[in-house]
Structure 1
Amino acid sequence: MAPEVLVGQEAVDDLLEVLDLEQIDSDLFRGREAAKAGTQRAFGGQVAGQALIAAGRTVAPGRNVHSLHGYFVRPGDSERPIVYEVENIRDGRSFSVRRTVAKQRGKTIFFMSASFHVGEKGMEHSDPGPLDEVPAPEDVPTLPERLKTHPERLGIWSRVPRPIDVRYVGTSGFAPRGDRPAENRQRVWMKADGKLPDDPLIHACVLTYASDLTLLDTVLNRHGEVWGRGGYLGTSLDHAMWFHKPVRADEWILYDSDSPVASHGRGLAQGSFYDADGGHLATAMQEGLLRRAPDEVPPGVP
């Protein structure tokens, strides 16, 4: 019998355990060996979130992450621990910069640069979020509800813990091929499906984790394409985020994204995060490798 999939607060607590790295030395951390349920390949958002936790644990209190830039260089194995080495690049009067290298079997699978800032008074402006163009999150079906007539299309979403409540305003890349119209924008409501502790670093790491769930899907959205059989397989190549305001990842956030260009097998997607009042919380960009799925796709792919 397949293991029960964790959802709700249990799934959130599981994610918090994943982010709770073991500190081996002042600048050396180790992640949990394996998730309770998952695929063989480590999820990129998890690796990025753990790398940010490792960096943040070496920074003085009061300095919050304002940007990160990471590269995925090898696939990670979810059944083996990941070691995170943190290099202190600089500690200034108001900024701290760290570089985190994630390794398995002695080889780098991911590296990230992250900058932390104490925050200062200055100019402030932001364009409001498009909340008047989307229904409230409570009125948007969950992904399992959308795909209840096509449960086989849930793919890995039906096999791994679901700590993030993801609600596509439109059609997702897990829809059956032919059921997804081509659209220029993708809008998704999301939040942690439970309560998080009041630690700004945890909320930034959970948003980093969540940002990787749907962003590359935006590239397929431009062409009405889907994941898996008859569609595409994708791999994240790099990921960048900028945090503009304090984030509560356990409250509803609108992820408004688009894909300005795709070329040579790679697609670029960019997204903005807005709170329920339309405040611009953060911005993300990601480039991914997209290839036509073969007739027989790896386990876990719909």
Structure 2
Amino acid sequence: MKEVSSLQRLIKMDQLDEFTFLGENYSIGSPIVFGGQVLAQGLYAMSQSVPEERIAHSLHGYFILPGDLTKPIRYEVEFVRDGGSFSTRRVKALQDDKIIFFMGASFQKKEEGYHHQMQMPKVPQPDELYSWDDMYNQLKDHLPRAMKQFLSIERPFIFKPTVLENVLERKPREPNYSVWFKIKGETENNPLMNRAILSYVSDYNLLTTALRPHAHVADMSNTQLATIDHAMWFHQEADINEWYLYSVDSPIASNARGFVRGSIFSQDGKLVASVAQEGLLRPITK
């Protein structure tokens, strides 16, 4: 039997009462709590008070304060409405009684209707590509400190970029990035856990994509990156234990903010989720 995913254990928080949960933290190398963790835990908390047949189809969250990795996060869910087909909930995440994040989500029972979707980009398949771990092991003695630290962190996913780039070459690049990802270990394959885990991974590779056109002058060591808000829409079901393609682009960066969009596809081409995020891209001046 495969090891249960560490991410599943992180998402399934202690429930203090019907609307209150206590979550632990997991470091991905940043000095603050990873935004995807708060998205996933917040969505899980809201889902516990919704009728079982209703599943999340959208969420929108705002990041207010950086989360402290050394302190648990308290999630307080607010009942907004249960309608005939849709349910709405809000959640706030607190540390030391201060709100660090809040989010709203909408849940819907399954319905039949019209269907169309965009095509998945034509890219190499995961078994043809190198992972971040492969690249780190080959290049670790030559990487800049910030990049070495970023790539060396143990993550709950395997990431395989669709284009092999010279990460040591500092030059402007197009503001788009595509990567395959797959969870390490095994997790429950159900609509709630699938959405929570997709929420977690959706916060990877976004603001760094907005930095790509400025890679000749900007990197993670001289730029302050922080998510401001994050929205996500869930379209179709797929097994979270399989490979997914995350295709990301950044239409614009301005006024020290970057805007990024993402599409998540299953390996058989289904558009599973869409993402939009705006974040801080502030040059650090001495």
TM-score, length basis structure 1: 0.86
Find the counterpart in structure 1 of residue 60 from structure 2.
Answer: 69
In structure 2, C-alpha distance between the alignment counterparts of 1:85 and 1:31, rounded to whole Å: 11
C-alpha displacement at 1:269, in angstroms?
0.2
In structure 1, C-alpha distance between the alignment counterparts of 2:164 and 2:56, rounded to whole Å: 33
C-alpha displacement at 1:177, in angstroms?
5.4
Q: Deviations over 1:33-65 (max 9, x none)?
A: x43775431111001110000001111111111
In structure 2, C-alpha distance between the alignment counterparts of 1:145 and 1:289, rounded to whole Å: 30
Find the counterpart in structure 2 of residue 163 from structure 1.
Answer: 156
Aligned amino acid, residue 141 of structure 1: Y
Give the direction of change, closer, same or farther, for the CA distance of 1:44–1:36 in structure 2 (3 Å limit). closer
Question: What is the CA RMSD across the aligned residues, in angstroms?
Answer: 2.1
Aligned amino acid, residue 224 of structure 2: L
Q: Is the 8 A contact 2:21 2:45 kept in 1?
A: yes
Give the direction of change, closer, same or farther, for the CA distance of 1:177–1:102 in structure 2 (3 Å limit). farther
Aligned amino acid, residue 129 of structure 1: M
Task: Count matched residues.
Answer: 279
C-alpha displacement at 1:103, in angstroms?
0.4
1:45 aligns with 2:41: no
Find the counterpart in structure 1 of residue 80 from structure 2.
Answer: 89
Partner secondary structure for residue 58 of structure 2:
strand
Give the direction of change, closer, same or farther, for the CA distance of 1:268–1:39 in structure 2 (3 Å limit). closer
Map 1:1-302; keep pairs closer than 5 Å: 13-32=5-24, 34-35=25-26, 39-130=30-121, 132=122, 134-147=123-136, 148-149=138-139, 150-151=142-143, 152=145, 153-159=147-153, 161-170=154-163, 175-176=167-168, 178=170, 181-224=172-215, 227-229=219-221, 231-293=222-284
Q: Is the 8 A contact 2:189 2:241 kept in 1?
A: no
Q: Is the 8 A contact 1:72 1:238 kept in 2?
A: yes
Give the direction of change, closer, same or farther, for the CA distance of 1:238–1:141 in structure 2 (3 Å limit). same
Give the direction of change, closer, same or farther, for the CA distance of 1:65–1:183 in structure 2 (3 Å limit). same
Partner secondary structure for residue 212 of structure 1:
coil
Give the direction of change, closer, same or farther, for the CA distance of 1:75–1:171 in structure 2 (3 Å limit). farther
In structure 2, C-alpha distance between the alignment counterparts of 1:119 and 1:223, rounded to whole Å: 43
Give the direction of change, closer, same or farther, for the CA distance of 1:104–1:154 in structure 2 (3 Å limit). same
Q: Is the 8 A contact 1:261 1:267 kept in 2?
A: yes
In structure 2, C-alpha distance between the alignment counterparts of 1:37 and 1:125, rounded to whole Å: 36
In structure 2, C-alpha distance between the alignment counterparts of 1:82 and 1:53, rounded to whole Å: 13
C-alpha displacement at 1:293, in angstroms?
4.5
Q: Deviations over 1:153-173 (max 9, x none)?
A: 2324423x311111122367x
In structure 1, C-alpha distance between the alignment counterparts of 2:209 and 2:94, rounded to whole Å: 29
TM-score, length basis structure 2: 0.90
Aligned amino acid, residue 55 of structure 1: M
Q: Is the 8 A contact 1:262 1:268 kept in 2?
A: yes
Give the direction of change, closer, same or farther, for the CA distance of 1:262–1:39 in structure 2 (3 Å limit). closer
Partner secondary structure for residue 202 of structure 2:
helix
In structure 1, C-alpha distance between the alignment counterparts of 2:105 and 2:76, rounded to whole Å: 13
Aligned amino acid, residue 38 of structure 2: V
Identity of aligned pairs, percent?
39
Aligned amino acid, residue 107 of structure 1: K
Aligned amino acid, residue 165 of structure 1: I
Give the direction of change, closer, same or farther, for the CA distance of 1:214–1:199 in structure 2 (3 Å limit). same
C-alpha displacement at 1:223, in angstroms?
3.1
